[in-house]
Amino acid sequence: MEFKFTEENSKKIEDILKRYPTKKAAVMPVLYVAQEQNGWISGEVMKEVASLLGMPSDEVLGVVTFYTMYHQKPMGKYHLQVCTNVSCMLRGAYKIYDYIKDKLNIANGGVTEDAVFSLEEVECMGSCGTAPMIAVNEDFFENLDVEKADQIIESFKNRN
């Protein structure tokens, strides 16, 4: 399906482009806006971003596949990222990760049948001082244990 930025996002992108020396240099924030709008970065999204920024689609694909923050398939409404890097791991991240996997019955990269949650094991998100932590979409939840992680998931379930 063809992808076009909304008018609001086109304006957002105009502002982003003003902050970069070249259009190409803005590929990451532009992709981010695209993902916010579309939920994931499809081939059509990449085509549109490439044409907008005047760069080859292959280069856009290179960025999308390099950075884990870009989703290459549709994810859940609430995307859970569980950090299992050193600080979080030492403070029980795998207990939390395994608990969430079992609770939602999905594997890494999986999406629940109702498309409400998706799960991803990720590297350090820069919040090591408050490890272990998870992110739900843009929001960080820190100093977690299994009980707190459970409460967070339940609270998002109830928002739905």
Backbone CA torsion sign across 100, 91, 79, 71? negative
Query: What residue ranges bind ligand FES (CB under 6 A)?
Result: 83, 85-88, 124-128, 131, 133
CB of 100 to ligand FES, least distance (A): 15
Q: How far apart are CA 29 and CA 47, in angstroms?
A: 16
CB of 155 to ligand FES, least distance (A): 21
CB of 150 to ligand FES, least distance (A): 19
Nearer to ligand FES by Cβ, of 8 and 94: the residue is 94
59 burial (CB, 10 Å; 0-12 / 13-18 / 19+) is: middle
Nearer to ligand FES by Cβ, of 50 and 100: the residue is 100
Nearer to ligand FES by Cβ, of 9 and 130: the residue is 130
Nearer to ligand FES by Cβ, of 48 and 121: the residue is 121
CB of 11 to ligand FES, least distance (A): 33
